[in-house]
Amino acid sequence: MIFLDAAATTPVRREVIEAMFPFLTNQFGNPSSHHELGELAATALEQARAQCAAVLGAHAEELVFTAGGTESDNLALKGIALARRAADPTLNRILISAVEHPAIVESASYLRRVHGFVVDVVPVDASGLVDQGAFAALLESSRPESSTADESQASSGGVAVASIMYANNEVGTVQDLPALARLARAAGVPLHSDAVQAAGWLSLDVRELGVDALSISGHKLGAPKGVGLLYVRSGIHYEPLIHGGGQERGARSGTENVAFSVALATALGLQEAGRGAAVGRVTRLREDFIERILREIPTALLTGHRSRRLPNVASFCFPGTSGESVLLELERRDIVCSSGSACAAGSDEPSAVLSALGMERAVAQTALRFSFAHDVTGEQLRAAGDELIAAVDRMQRLGGK
Catalytic one of 52, 317, 337, 343: 343
Q: Which long-range contacts (CB under 8 A, 24 or more apart) does 235-239 make?
A: 236/80, 236/190, 236/212, 237/80, 237/83, 237/84, 237/87, 238/75, 238/76, 238/79, 238/80, 238/82, 238/83, 238/213, 239/78, 239/79, 239/82, 239/83, 239/86
* pLDDT of amino acid 347: 55
Q: How many CB atoms lie within 10 A of CB 224?
A: 18
Cα–Cα distance list, 35 to 3, 32, 309, 314, 390 (Å): 45, 9, 49, 51, 63
* pLDDT of amino acid 220: 97
How does DSSP assign 61-78, residue by residue?
Answer: GGEEEESSHHHHHHHHHH
Beta-bridge partner residues of 118 = 93
* pLDDT of amino acid 340: 66
* pLDDT of amino acid 148: 43
Q: Where are the domains of the chain?
A: 2-9+275-397, 14-270
207/212 Cα distance (integer angstroms): 9
316/338 Cα distance (integer angstroms): 11
Burial class (CB in 10 A: 0-12, 13-18, 19+), 383: middle
Please state the φ and ψ torsions of residue 215, each to the nearest 5 degrees.
Answer: -115, 140
Could you tell me which CATH number the domain at 2-9+275-397 has?
A: 3.90.1150.10
29/386 Cα distance (integer angstroms): 52
Between CA 235 and CA 241, with CA 239 as vertex, the angle to 5 degrees is 140
Per-residue pLDDT of the chain (401 residues; tens, 9 = 90+): 999 999 999 999 999 999 999 999 999 999 999 999 999 999 999 999 999 999 999 999 999 999 999 999 999 999 999 999 999 999 999 999 999 999 999 999 999 999 999 999 999 999 999 999 999 999 987 444 444 434 443 447 899 999 999 999 999 999 999 999 999 999 999 999 999 999 999 999 999 999 999 999 999 999 999 999 999 999 999 999 999 999 999 999 999 999 999 999 999 999 999 999 999 999 999 999 999 999 999 999 999 999 999 999 999 999 989 889 999 999 999 999 998 654 544 556 789 999 999 999 999 999 999 999 999 999 999 999 999 999 999 988 887 55
351/133 Cα distance (integer angstroms): 25
Instruction: Note if 317 is an active site residue.
Output: no
State the alpha helices, DSSP H only, in 192-257. 206-209
The top-level CATH class assigned to 14-270 is alpha beta
* pLDDT of amino acid 398: 80
Residue whose C-alpha is closest to residue 289's, from 354, 367, 372, 351: 372
Q: Are 98 and 123 a contacting pair, CB within 8 Å?
A: yes
Q: Are 241 and 251 a contacting pair, CB within 8 Å?
A: no
Between CA 148 and CA 156, with CA 154 as vertex, the angle to 5 degrees is 100
Sign for the pseudo-dihedral over CA of 149, 155, 158, 164: negative
